[in-house]
Amino acid sequence: MKKKETSLYFLKNFIPEGTFDLVAPYFRDNTVHLTLTQERKSVLGDYRNPTKEDPHHRITVNITLNQYSFLITLLHELAHMLTYNHFKNSIPPHGKEWKTQFRHVLIPFIGKKIFPADVEKALIAYIKNPAASTCTDQALYKALYRYDEPKPSHYLVDDLEVGHWFETEDGHIYEIVEHLRTRSRCKQLATGKIYLFHSIVEVKHIRRDRRKTA
């Protein structure tokens, strides 16, 4: 995994216009090493607190995120830093203390036309009880996904209609059978077995004449 520590001003290239001056004070008031890294499927960003061996706050953020996802992820990790400054390691990582800090960090960015209307609406609902990852909030994830770099024929499972086919990374082909609240029932064409897919999983939409058999 290739990582690159970045300067503070380089950060302007990855966050929405007009937000740098709101973010910069956190870096000027704390010794923070920010590292940009390539896509990690299981995590969008992370925070490491100072230790005796390394007396700096360390934050990493995936460089592949769109500007709105990048900013939210960065603020998420800065909230961890502020929580650590107040409580050290005496509390759960995503407990009420972190939730409070995250709200305080995020609120100054709301209502200033920084985020598109659909993202801001989902974000306002999300910060009432923020989770450990934006990926766990379906409405916010879907809103942010619309601003990712387009991939030909790729969609979220929830965006495909019943009866449509899609292919997963392992090459299996499925048909949408039914959309539930947060998941979708899908039939694997080669076996006829039914599987549940999370509605916000990205898949490749394919034509119905590309059927594969076992």
Is 136 contained in some domain?
Answer: yes
Question: Do 136 and 168 share a structural domain?
Answer: no
Here the tokens at position 190 are 């080669």
Is the CB of residue 144 less than 8 Å from the CB of residue 164? no
Question: Do 110 and 178 share a structural domain?
Answer: no
Question: Do 93 and 140 share a structural domain?
Answer: yes
Is 211 contained in some domain?
Answer: no
| Per-residue model confidence (pLDDT) at position 99 | 95
Question: Do 171 and 113 share a structural domain?
Answer: no
Is 197 contained in some domain?
Answer: yes
Please provide the distance, in angstroms rounded to a whole number, between the alpha carbons at the two ends of the chain: 35
Question: Do 68 and 160 share a structural domain?
Answer: no
Is the CB of residue 160 less than 8 Å from the CB of residue 206? no
Secondary structure (3-state) at 61: strand
| Per-residue model confidence (pLDDT) at position 131 | 83
Question: Do 125 and 78 share a structural domain?
Answer: yes
Is 213 contained in some domain?
Answer: no
Residues of the domain holding 20 = 3-145
Which of 6, 155, 143 lies closest to 72 in space, CA to CA? 143
Neighbours of 106 (CB within 10 A): 20
| Per-residue model confidence (pLDDT) at position 7 | 67
Here the tokens at position 132 are 């450990």
- CA atoms of 53 and 50, how far apart (whole Å): 8
Q: Which residue has the tokens 């993202």?
A: 119
Domain limit, last residue, from 145, 166, 193: 145
Here the tokens at position 81 are 């830093």
Domain limit, last residue, from 127, 145, 163: 145
Low-confidence ranges of the chain (pLDDT < 50): 1-2, 212-214
Domain limit, last residue, from 120, 145, 170: 145
193: CATH: 2.30.30.30
- CA atoms of 203 and 157, how far apart (whole Å): 6
Locate the DSSP E strands across the chain. 3-5, 32-37, 45-48, 57-62, 154-156, 165-167, 173-179, 183-188, 194-198, 202-206
CA distances for 15 relative to 12, 28, 61, 106, 201, angstroms: 6, 17, 12, 14, 25
Question: Do 48 and 23 share a structural domain?
Answer: yes
What is the number of domains present in the chain? 2
Per-residue DSSP letter, 149: P
Whether the model clears a pTM of 0.85, i.e. scores above it, the answer is: yes
Question: Do 65 and 28 share a structural domain?
Answer: yes
Give the chain's radius of gyration (CA, Å). Answer: 20
Q: For residue range 130-156, what is the model confidence (pLDDT) as tens digits?
A: 988 878 889 999 999 999 999 999 999
Question: Do 160 and 74 share a structural domain?
Answer: no
